[in-house]
Amino acid sequence: MSVGLYQVGVGGLLAAQQQLATTGHNISNVNTEGYTRQRAEQNASLGFSDGSNYVGTGTYIQDITRVYDQFSYKEQLINKSNLGNADSLENKLTQLDQIMATSGNAIVTSIDELYKTFNSIADNPNDAGLRSIVLTQAETLSSDFQDLSDNFDKMKTSVNGEVDQVVTRISEISIELAKINETILHSQGSNQGGQPNDLLDKRDQLVSEISEYTSVNTVIDQNGVMSVMVGQGTTLVAGITPMTVQVKAGDPDPLKTQLVLVGPNSSVSIDSATLGGSLGASIEFRDEHLSEVQNEMDRLAMALSSTLNDSQASGLDLNAKQGANIFTDINTTALQQGRVSAPSSNTGNLQAKVNITDISILPTDEFEVRYNGSIYTIKNMSTGESEDLGAMGTGTHATSFGFEFIETSGAPANDDSFIIIPTKNSSAFMNVTLTDGDAIAASTAVSVAASSHNVSDGEVSISNVTDPEAARSYIDNPNTGLTVDVYESSAGTFTYRVFDSANPPPAATIATGSYLAGESALVDLPPGSPAFQIEIKGNLVGSGTNAREEFTIGDAFGVGNGNNAVAMAKTQEQSITNGKRETFNQSLAISTSRVGAKASNASLVADTAQALFTQAFNRNQSTSGVNLDEEAANLLKYQQAYQAASQIISTANTIFDTILSAVR
């Protein structure tokens, strides 16, 4: 009996000792990140039959297990991935919002100051000092756009550097996980009954770290070996075989870097749209949010340059010469060629460029032009809208998006494609090309004066001047001034004539025609190769064929003429961009507010993601985390059990000594 009692006591002593050791291990690792609480699974030893009774033989520790809930752990992984994505996107959008707020205010101020100088020149067109200030303010404006473009490029470089770091860390974790899997596989093959709990914790901690960078899923086989998938099922770790993630230059844009999963024998591209986590957020920010606002600012720079250059070209400078461009021409060869990129997969040798034709309808989207063997098709990558551009070899292909696709050399092969960003580099290449203040075209070339005998409310105006020098020449030579007369030839129909003032009808007219009430007539002068255009509109009824409404077109140039500067100043208030719905300041304000709204929304999403992750983490910790109060109670309980088991052994020794004494 004493021998059986001794064995029972020893079993209890060893069990209590292991329980104390496990509890101490839990307490020691209360602050260890990723540690899962362990528990010694204690069972009763099998009893033996003694007559009609079963006699117990004590206890033993069957296993030491992790208190692990795979469902709450996976919930934590999912929410950590969502949190990583939300936090990363919020940080980047907040930074972009700050850049837009600072640079946007600078650009608004520069635009306002530039237009103030145009107003000043309108009042004093021959003031050399004011003309010099115009060029200074133009330099400031172009510098502000270039600084903003540089900030965008720096952000893109920073994001690419962050992607490189994250990808490197994911590859390191992949190798570590494969090594842990191999260790676990070997430990399971050595007939050990227990699990390497601390090693499993380390593996789970590494998976948890990956979940911050990208969404992750895991599968564990019967040997305890884990396979790890990222994104939407891309295998990162296949048992004991690690894959690595690498970054390669984008195609065709090298700054839009792409991710590749590299295995022992092959590599495959990773769809960044399915990644999730902070890595997915970084690529989303770079390719969507940052590109969108950069394209918008490039379009604004292009619209400003084009509008002011066109206004200059409509007037005459102090030397009676047509106004030269203030800013870089939006259709320089470098800009045109930079708008087209060809992927390396193209097998043809076509070289192409893009010419901007209508800034008012130009979108900020990216486009793809694809050749199917006979015709080109263009597709808006944002809206999916597409249209045919015609056959190869025809040179210039007009689109409905405000630009032309132009073949310059070579020929495409079947299924070749080209990426088009119509606004690309407009901010970076915006420079002031005008160097002489006298070259500012403040004066108009021609003007229209209504006869004092006119009785109607209609008007004739100069609607467009393409060549002001030729316009003056045409009015003065071969003509000696032009006259436009209009009358109501029949009810609701108005007939007009344009003729040389020195040779009135019945001499031949230069132009004649009619228009209906509520409409207008545009007349090119000279016909066939116009230098300017007039518009006739309104109910110019006159008093019959011999009492027509008359308007005189004459030479308007003069050093004191500031009418073209007035026209230039008015362009600030004109709706020019986005389908002629937005002024320059409105376009900038809309872009800035859109970024601000995105940043604000991202902050709300990040707060929600943080709350959900905290809930998931707390749920997991309530099961798997170490509770010091609980462990302290267990420590006391197992200490008492140890002492009690020791007393059993002492009692068994006493009984055994008594038996020995009795037989001596």
Residue pLDDT, tens place only, 490-545: 888 999 999 999 999 999 999 999 999 999 999 999 999 999 999 999 988 876 67
Which of 5-19, 38-52, 292-306 is the least confident region?
Answer: 38-52
pLDDT category at 191 given cuts 50, 70, 90 is low
3-state per-residue secondary structure call for 578-608: HHHCECHHHHHHHHHHHHHHHHHHHHHHHHH
Q: Distance between CA atoms of 298 and 383, rounded to whole angstroms?
A: 20
The answer to whether residue 226 scores a pLDDT higher than 90 is yes
pLDDT category at 3 given cuts 50, 70, 90 is low
Question: For the residues 634-641, what does the mean pLDDT come to?
Answer: 91
Please give the pLDDT value at position 50: 67
The answer to whether residue 263 scores a pLDDT higher than 90 is no
Do 159 and 285 touch, CB atoms closer than 8 A?
Answer: yes
Q: Distance between CA atoms of 516 and 536, rounded to whole angstroms?
A: 11
Please give the pLDDT value at position 66: 92
425-435 burial: b if 16+ Cβ within 10 Å, else e: bbbbbbebebe
Question: Could you tell me the pTM of the whole model?
Answer: 0.89
| Tokens read off for 72 | 């709450």
Question: For the residues 640-656, what does the mean pLDDT come to?
Answer: 85
Please give the pLDDT value at position 333: 95
Please give the pLDDT value at position 194: 74
At residue 601, what is the residue type? N
Do 83 and 214 touch, CB atoms closer than 8 A?
Answer: no
**Percent share of the chain, pLDDT over 90:** 77
Helix axis angle for 197-213 and 277-284, nearest 10°, is 10
pLDDT category at 457 given cuts 50, 70, 90 is confident
Higher pLDDT, 2 or 401: 401
Question: For the residues 219-233, what does the mean pLDDT come to?
Answer: 91
Question: For the residues 70-76, what does the mean pLDDT come to?
Answer: 92
Q: Distance between CA atoms of 424 and 297, rounded to whole angstroms?
A: 10
Residue appearing with tokens 């970024």: 595
The answer to whether residue 613 scores a pLDDT higher than 80 is yes
422 alpha carbon, distance to own chain's centre:
16
Domain segments of the chain as ranges = 2-67+627-662, 331-420, 445-556
**Helix and strand counts by DSSP (H, E) for the chain:** 12, 27
Q: Distance between CA atoms of 249 and 243, rounded to whole angstroms?
A: 20
Please give the pLDDT value at position 146: 97
Do 244 and 309 touch, CB atoms closer than 8 A?
Answer: no
Please give the pLDDT value at position 664: 65
Q: What is the enclosing helix (H) or strand (E) of 78?
A: helix 70-123
Taking the CA atoms of residue 89, residue 91, residue 92 and residue 98 in that order, the dihedral angle to the nearest 10 degrees is 140
pLDDT category at 115 given cuts 50, 70, 90 is very high
Please give the pLDDT value at position 392: 87
Please give the pLDDT value at position 592: 95
Q: Distance between CA atoms of 332 and 229, rounded to whole angstroms?
A: 49
Please give the pLDDT value at position 425: 95
Please give the pLDDT value at position 663: 73
Q: What is the pLDDT of residues 43-58, one digit of tens each?
A: 988 877 666 777 778 8
Question: For the residues 270-289, what does the mean pLDDT come to?
Answer: 93
The answer to whether residue 85 scores a pLDDT higher than 80 is yes
For 398, other C-beta atoms within 10 Å of its C-beta total 14
Q: What is the pLDDT of residues 557-592, one digit of tens each?
A: 999 999 999 999 999 999 999 999 999 999 999 999
Q: Distance between CA atoms of 284 and 598, rounded to whole angstroms?
A: 13
At residue 232, what is the residue type? Q
Cβ burial of 95 (10 Å; 0-12, 13-18, 19+) is middle
| Tokens read off for 638 | 């197992």
Residues 6+ apart with CB under 8 A from 20: 635, 638, 639, 642
β-bridge mates for residue 577, sequence order: 582
Taking the CA atoms of residue 85, residue 86, residue 87 and residue 92 in that order, the dihedral angle to the nearest 10 degrees is 90
Q: What is the pLDDT of residues 55-68, one digit of tens each?
A: 778 888 888 999 98
At residue 203, what is the residue type? R
Please give the pLDDT value at position 49: 66
The answer to whether residue 394 scores a pLDDT higher than 60 is yes
Question: For the residues 368-393, what does the mean pLDDT come to?
Answer: 93
Q: What is the enclosing helix (H) or strand (E) of 249?
A: none
β-bridge mates for residue 258, sequence order: 248
Please give the pLDDT value at position 334: 95
Do 252 and 343 touch, CB atoms closer than 8 A?
Answer: yes
Higher pLDDT, 652 or 463: 463
Please give the pLDDT value at position 654: 84
Please give the pLDDT value at position 192: 59
Q: Distance between CA atoms of 195 and 200, rounded to whole angstroms?
A: 8
pLDDT category at 4 given cuts 50, 70, 90 is confident
Higher pLDDT, 644 or 147: 147
Please give the pLDDT value at position 227: 94
